[in-house]
Structure 1
């Protein structure tokens, strides 16, 4: 009779739980008794099928397991065990219980990886968050697939071992061979992002993009085809500040959890991500989920960056409505039988739409009735738009601004410097008050209306009038205040002035709506 114990991690959403794989091996007591493989705990179907992969991998690695009863327990037994990443720790625990690898080499080690039938160690998703949890638990050695080694090297405090096969790993555990350490990934460099200098003749829209970046305010562009809605959205990441170390780790962990992302293998993500899913995307692909592989969606992959939903009225209404709560709270919460999965979703949301179904280039060419236009825009619910701070019409630029090179236009580097100064001003203000927020777009409305921050009536007169007339909801009122603080930060003011509040009202409702 033998016993083996190995440490691994089980991932439930972005939460990583330390797991112990215990294996007991007992011989069959009679010739009539058959060998069997029994699992206890809460394994899913992928884990239940692991015995086929493990038996074949062990045999093809040159090891022989006699007829015996293999009993495996995943502890804590109350934690659901998912995915193929438990293949490697399960195989090592069986080999340890069979006396084929020394138990002392396993005490402070962590194992994470899938096995092929030929004994190869195959890559898996979620390596970075798993290793961060192992490091927190005090483990000293991490054994992960060779193809995940670059990503694994982003976690500090662990000796990294990255075998290409089970046989190579066993030789290392026995002290008969060395596995060369992986080369650490080089610093990630930003992609060649589209530049703000490409946007000409649209000062109002450029101002909206700058405000969105400075305070992390959501934006809604409405305009005919070719007016530059997509161009504006695509240039937003180029003026967002680089991610802090903590933010980089958060974003990279989310991308590590996505089965097909692969971005995390290239090193820490230091720059704001950009996600632009097609309007035919499903709810699962947008907010996360799925039947077998429950991973983050585009909403979480855009965490700390920009989520761009073009042709917004063409999206299914229930899909768009599914992002309302996560955009507000900054977190996606998925409930499944026996588990609750959480993914971060603190995004800058950009919506874009044509003004009508026919999408005519000129208003004179539009064939839609007033009812059809109204019905088209009503596909976007009022509660969703109530969470959007900047709402503006985008008109095509004048031909003169396109055909001449004489117009001086600020590039992304100049705008990004102003955005960074405004972000620093906001962070210093909230930090000096002992608050955790770094952007004005994160501040709760009741805090902005608190006694020590309440603006004088002479400053908010127009805003108060809009609230009393029902032109703004309470949430809309608070969002105008947030936007006014961002305008003040960009202007270098200590607090919003009447002109700042007026401009915020313009962007929230448009000049006509703000003054009527």
Structure 2
């Protein structure tokens, strides 16, 4: 046959639209033309495919070859189309059968030797293939990742020759098995942290309701250590959350099977740009906020970040999504993360320290704190001070409470929320707050007093109610009492 058609997948944000690879062989001077809006990596497939076909002991047709990647208006990038292009050429020249092409999709980058290399976005492609009801053939290094998506028949191959033998009925392909799919995630333990009982309690409340948190304290008080252990007390990921988080990480090629069902923890340096934080580029890729989807984004030394960079967090903190718009395309990425931030109380770091004297002037302290805008602070639910450890706390030999014990209480509180409203407390809308966060007369009086004294905004008012609901859930209470509300208000005093 002079024409062959092979199906594959491109990447467009979180989507993996279908791409039809068409190869046509015609008489004339030998040439290899690639059309269909290919980018540089795809155009270079001509040389990779030619060498791979020859090294696999097939004949590269000395004819006029035209390969079309449809639809023509969808940009094609990366080397994922090498394998389908090679198979289409071999089928069009009659060297391999095309019987299995209708019910199979192929993707993979070819080495010059004909070996197959891994591709980005294998999980996103698998999820798209599931809706199409087709078999997916990928490089063996990517097949295990795609196999995490239930309901998708995935096969792995190590070389072009292996795929051709399978198409000809003369061999079999690897059926991937994920050995780490059921392994329990391993997190650092809260038992390693000495003292800081109040801070641990605030982290427990944040974990229970999915709230954002800011810790302010002198150097060496354990802020970074506590943040690193925070994912270990979050509720266990369900399959949908695990698939979403893994699919986003797969788009950057950063997913590993050993990270399956492990809450992401991203800690970008304070020199990160706005594009690195929210995503972007000519072919938009997810940024740190999306890579932390269903996990934790830790911003250490918060005032050292550029103010322009921090301001891009305001919308995703509210919506849980980020849309990257470019002249030719638009990509939408999920970004439902928990923000955990840390900062010093002043430039030198020792304001309020029991033994070290602060050497900063009031004006320097005001400028330092002013690097974080009021609207961003208003969106951070919990703002607490982390005091320096006393000598007795530092020298004590006894270990603190283990993460497993804290996670048990957090899981119980989160289960109550899912049964009551189907979402964490942090995601409650205005009408849902009115429904699930009702107060008695004593609590209402306390909240009115707090609004007047702390000058709380409407957003802060709603966040206090959601915090109080999380405190009540941890206590196993169906109603919010003045005790629960008082603790929630205490967590907002940092905004005053």
Normalised to the residue count of structure 2, the TM-score between the two structures is 0.93
2:323 counterpart of 1:333: yes
2:19 counterpart of 1:19: yes
Give the alignment of 1:109-128 within 5 angstroms: 109-128=104-123
Distance 2:322 2:30 in 1: 44
Distance 2:65 2:124 in 1: 30
2:227 counterpart of 1:233: yes
Q: 1:211 aligns with which of 205, 217, 222?
A: 205
2:405 counterpart of 1:405: no
Match of 1:491 in 2: 475
Give the alignment of 1:420-435 within 5 angstroms: 420-431=411-422
Match of 2:126 in 1: 131
Q: CA deviation at 1:489?
A: 0.6
**C-alpha deviations, 1:431-450, integer Å up to 9, x for none?**
4xxxxx2x101112342135
CA contact (8 A) 1:44 1:81 kept: yes
Give the alignment of 1:259-278 within 5 angstroms: 259=253, 261-263=254-256, 265-266=257-258, 269-278=260-269
CA contact (8 A) 2:123 2:146 kept: yes
- Structure 1: 5+ residue runs without aligned partners? 29-33, 432-436
Distance 1:133 1:426 in 2: 31
Q: CA deviation at 1:180?
A: 4.1
Give the alignment of 1:57-68 within 5 angstroms: 57-68=52-63
Distance 1:462 1:453 in 2: 15
Q: CA deviation at 1:424?
A: 0.9
Give the alignment of 1:316-465 within 5 angstroms: 316-360=306-350, 362=353, 364-405=356-397, 409-431=400-422, 437=423, 439-450=424-435, 454-465=438-449
- Structure 2: 5+ residue runs without aligned partners? none
**C-alpha deviations, 1:409-461, integer Å up to 9, x for none?**
42212211111111111111114xxxxx2x101112342135x7543454222
Match of 1:308 in 2: 298
CA contact (8 A) 1:8 1:20 kept: yes
Q: CA deviation at 1:380?
A: 0.8
Structure 1, 279-288 or 494-503: larger mean CA deviation: 279-288
Match of 1:31 in 2: none
**Secondary structure at the counterpart of residue 168 of structure 1:** helix
Q: 1:453 to 1:157 in 2, by over 3 A?
A: closer
2:280 counterpart of 1:286: no
2:469 counterpart of 1:475: no
Match of 2:77 in 1: 82
Match of 1:243 in 2: 237
Match of 2:47 in 1: 52
Match of 1:434 in 2: none
CA contact (8 A) 1:460 1:501 kept: no
**C-alpha deviations, 1:58-97, integer Å up to 9, x for none?**
2222222333222223233333222211111122112212
Q: CA deviation at 1:281?
A: 2.1
Q: CA deviation at 1:163?
A: 2.0
Q: 1:127 to 1:372 in 2, by over 3 A?
A: same
Distance 1:158 1:152 in 2: 8
**Secondary structure at the counterpart of residue 8 of structure 1:** strand
Q: CA RMSD in A?
A: 2.2
Match of 2:68 in 1: 73
CA contact (8 A) 2:42 2:78 kept: yes
**Secondary structure at the counterpart of residue 375 of structure 1:** helix
Q: CA deviation at 1:9?
A: 1.1
Distance 1:188 1:181 in 2: 18
**C-alpha deviations, 1:331-380, integer Å up to 9, x for none?**
12212232212222111101100111122383752111101011001111
CA contact (8 A) 1:153 1:185 kept: no
CA contact (8 A) 1:27 1:67 kept: no
CA contact (8 A) 1:41 1:77 kept: yes
Q: 1:93 aligns with which of 84, 88, 94?
A: 88
Distance 1:501 1:182 in 2: 51
2:156 counterpart of 1:162: yes
Q: CA deviation at 1:469?
A: 6.5
Q: CA deviation at 1:15?
A: 1.2
**C-alpha deviations, 1:301-342, integer Å up to 9, x for none?**
211111110001111112222222122211122122322122
CA contact (8 A) 1:9 1:112 kept: yes
CA contact (8 A) 1:330 1:347 kept: yes
**Secondary structure at the counterpart of residue 81 of structure 1:** coil
Q: CA deviation at 1:53?
A: 1.7
Distance 1:349 1:235 in 2: 14
Q: CA deviation at 1:42?
A: 2.8
Q: 1:299 to 1:366 in 2, by over 3 A?
A: same
Q: 1:424 to 1:291 in 2, by over 3 A?
A: same
Q: CA deviation at 1:213?
A: 0.4
